[in-house]
Amino acid sequence: AEQICSVALIFIMFYGGFGTNWSTAKPVAVKAIVLSSLGTVMTAGFVGLFCHFVLKMALLESFLIGAVISSTDAASVFSILRSKKLNLKYNTAPLLEIESGSNDPFSYMLTVIVLALMNSGTSEGFGYMLFAQIVYGVAFGFGIAIAAVFILKRFKISSAGFNAIFIMAVALIAYAAPAYFGGNGYLSAYITGIILGNKRIDNKQELVHFFDATTGLMQMVLFFLLGLLSFPSQFPAIALTALCIALFLTFVARPLAVFAILTPFKGANVRQNLLVSWAGMRGAASIVFAIMAVINPAVTDNDIFHTVLFIVLFSILIQGTLIPVVAKKLKLTDSGEDVMRTFTDYIDEVPVQLIQFSVPAAHPWNGKAVKDIQLPPDSLLVLLTRGDKRLIPNGNTVVREGDMLVLSGNSTDKVDGVRLYERGAEASGWVGKTVSEVPSGEEFIMLIKRGGRVVIPRGNTEFKENDVLVLTDAKELVAAKPTKL
């Protein structure tokens, strides 16, 4: 059971990073990481003190319970944000995603440390264990991700199925390699996931959807095992204790940690802190860590497994159900935000077709500058080939006889060799500027999604707040094979 749960948690952790859009999460990354690390430790500490001094449990056993239930559930948070299309103000959605996706490794580390203390009765070797958990986990996470990106760029994998198999193998290696040396495999898997998820990978949309479905399957496996290993007859004996811990965790420990950490940050918002406090759901990771605690040789006086089961069910049923309601009551929902932008699975909602044609001598565009040409509606001149030279034209580029022009326009087909990705105008720092004012580097702006409509960019098009830019790599565009007209 523990091995099955560990494998399931690897993919849950990996997807926690793989599904997060770093460009939208970057403004709140520091807050989220501090909350996921220090916040997890504080939550575990508060719960441990409550169990020891109020519920009269043994000290180490109290902190073991705190460690096991200290992390929040990324898969549940992702699921609620997606299914409810919960668009939140103040970058709350990416804050929740990074925090919930990255705090499981810290909960795991605390659980391992407390179990080691319970088994040995001494803190000898504690320093190295802490060093190995963090340093090896981070180092292997970055190293494996960089190696995987190199392989994906060096060897093109055209099939989404083979891509998925390769990424699954990478996730497993990201866990196994640091774990072999005593490092935190879950932290490594998360870091690998967030790096790969924010690189330009072929079939990215299909991959994110694949791992989303895989994560859902793993959660079902975990809860099935939880039900298989549990005995309902044990609930009456632990119900009162578990309820007290659940209530303290939900209404005292979690809010204390959230307010203590987020309040010092610039622009701290009480309503946002309240929602973040409420959204701290417990889930799959707590189940895995509870099973680890049960099968460990450490002796406990309390039924930790059924206690954690009760807390997880309470959290999912009460907190998970009421998150949309609480968000509305706190007036944190915002129609101007789009929660789907915080995920990496950009869907070709506005696919682009490239059309190529040659300019004859009698063509009305011959001899005209691009800025003086009347292009077809919803189209953009994206490439000009003159002899052996290919260039991306600007408004002053003059079209000549024999030039091969490439126009982009809406289509229902994908474009071979061109990968589209999106980024918010705010993340680029371009709000208030026009297209002609931004540097033309390695990226090309294909179109702009503004509200419910599509804007084909011109030189004088001004970027506005909440604009979503659909971009492509300029080198890939030059090498693409458009449809001939």
Residue 39 is predicted with a pLDDT of: 95
pLDDT at 346 over 50: no
**CB atoms < 10 A from the CB of 389, how many?**
7
Closest CA to 280 of 297, 256, 303, 298: 256
The single residue listed with the structure tokens 């929740």 is 96
Band of pLDDT at residue 158, cut at 50, 70 and 90: low
Give the range among 89-98, 128-137, 467-476 with minimum mean pLDDT: 467-476
pLDDT at 412 over 70: no
Residue 454 is predicted with a pLDDT of: 74
DSSP for 392-457, please give it: ---TTPBP-TT-EEEEEEE-SS--TT---EEEEHHHHT-TT-BGGGS--SSEEEEEEEETTEEE--
Greater confidence, 1 or 357? Answer: 357
pLDDT at 441 over 70: no
Exposed (0-12), middle (13-18) or buried (19+): which is 235, by Cβ within 10 Å? middle
Average confidence (pLDDT) over 48-57: 96
pLDDT at 318 over 50: yes
> What are the tokens at 251?
């209404």
Residue 22 is predicted with a pLDDT of: 80
Q: What are phi and psi for residue 172, nearest 5 degrees? A: -65, -40
pLDDT at 234 over 70: yes
Average confidence (pLDDT) over 318-337: 84
Residue 348 is predicted with a pLDDT of: 39
Contacts of residue 363, Cβ cutoff 8 Å, sequence gap at least 6:
401
Q: What are phi and psi for residue 416, nearest 5 degrees? A: -65, 130
Query: Across the chain, what does the average pLDDT equal?
Result: 84
- C-alpha 79/C-alpha 84 separation (Å) is 8
Query: Domains along the chain?
Result: 2-340 (1.20.1530.20), 352-484 (3.30.70.1450)
Contacts of residue 300, Cβ cutoff 8 Å, sequence gap at least 6:
58, 61, 64, 293
Helices (H), 299-401: 304-314, 321-329
Greater confidence, 341 or 31? Answer: 31
Residue 349 is predicted with a pLDDT of: 42
Q: Please, what is the Cα angle at 248 between 90 and 31, to 5 degrees? A: 25
Contact 204, 346 (CB under 8 A): yes
Band of pLDDT at residue 485, cut at 50, 70 and 90: very low
